[in-house]
Amino acid sequence: MALSNVVETPASGFNFENVCRNVALEGLLQGGQTKAPKPMKTGTTIAGVLCKNGVVLGADTRATSGEVVADKMCAKIHYISPNIYCCGAGTAADTEKTTDLLSSNLTIFSMNSGRNPRVVMAVNILQDMLFRYRGQIGASLILGGVDCTGNHLYKVGPYGSIDNVPYLAMGSGDLAALGILEDRFKADMEMEEAKELVRDAIHSGIMSDLGSGNNIDICVITKQGVDYIRPYQESEYKDKRQRRYKYRPGTTSILTEKIVPLELEVVQETVQRMDTA
């Protein structure tokens, strides 16, 4: 229905109308037994290492929601463009949407210009976007890629800060992973050695941090292409399903059956030739 107190069309973008409602709900819930639902965070260990002919990115696969493991096979290494991949830590939805937006923008750019985007372009777009929202978008990202200027590895914080170093770790398990990286990183490593180093870093994050766990994913980006190994290593504590939990056909018995044929008669028939030239 047409409302007479609406004088302009609503602005697109974020809508802050529910802020008052949320504040009121918080007040109500504090006194009560229930708590507000926690957003799904990735409480992660992600790491990246620059090696001789490319970049190696690694991540664990656990997503937590409060104290519960929400997803045991979460994909934290996101596709940005054919030569750039991004690991995301922080709020799962935020990292997902931010990397999707970045990927779409870079696709439009590469269609317009006919080139593969450079890693600095991705980093700048991310920086502008995250700083605009003053850290309310909780996405900590590690971007790695190979472009015409070489191999690059960048870290972008939720407020838009960037860091450009040869080895990085982020997430709740980053201190554990950084310990391994600081100890064994050397400049210009071989590809296999770099993969082992990243695997060990993520492994130490999984062992020492509650928010990280399950399997390890590795993504190797070189000039020739991308090798996304998922999972690179499966956790030894994987559960095996005891039985099939799907319902067998015939579980629900049919009591009665009534068939009513729907009679249709052809009223009018027209043929239109399709021009396929």
According to the binding rule CB under 8 A, does residue 277 interact with another protein?
no
Q: Is 45 a catalytic residue?
A: no
**Smaller CB separation from another protein, 79 or 228:** 79
According to the binding rule CB under 8 A, does residue 29 interact with another protein?
no
272: Cβ–Cβ under 8 A, 6 or more apart, which residues?
none
**Smaller CB separation from another protein, 61 or 105:** 105
Q: How many residues lie near another protein (CB under 8 A)?
A: 31
**Smaller CB separation from another protein, 69 or 129:** 129
**Smaller CB separation from another protein, 89 or 137:** 137
According to the binding rule CB under 8 A, does residue 17 interact with another protein?
yes
The residue annotated as part of the active site, out of 44, 45, 64, 99, is 44
Q: Are 148 and 90 in contact (CB under 8 A)?
A: no
Tell me which residues in 122-141 interact with another protein (CB under 8 A): 129, 132-134, 136
Q: Give the helix/strand (H/E) hosting 73.
A: none
**Smaller CB separation from another protein, 101 or 210:** 101
As a whole number of angstroms, the distance between CA 49 and CA 177 comes to 12
**Count of Cβ atoms closer than 10 Å to residue 109 Cβ:** 17
Amino acid letter, 38:
K
27: Cβ–Cβ under 8 A, 6 or more apart, which residues?
none
According to the binding rule CB under 8 A, does residue 11 interact with another protein?
yes
What is the smallest separation between the CB atom of 22 and another protein, expressed in angstroms? 9
Q: Are 163 and 147 in contact (CB under 8 A)?
A: no
According to the binding rule CB under 8 A, does residue 36 interact with another protein?
no
Report the DSSP beta bridge partners of residue 79.
Answer: 85
Q: Which of 103, 108, 110, 107 is nearest to 126 (CA)?
A: 103
Tell me which residues in 66-125 interact with another protein (CB under 8 A): 101, 104-105, 108-109, 112
Q: Are 142 and 47 in contact (CB under 8 A)?
A: yes
According to the binding rule CB under 8 A, does residue 252 interact with another protein?
no
50 SS3 class? strand
Q: Are 92 and 40 in contact (CB under 8 A)?
A: yes
Instruction: Choose, by CB under 8 A, the member of 3, 68, 187, 262 that binds another protein.
Output: 3
As annotated, the active-site residues are: 44
What are the residues binding another protein (CB under 8 A)? 1-17, 19-20, 23, 101, 104-105, 108-109, 112, 129, 132-134, 136
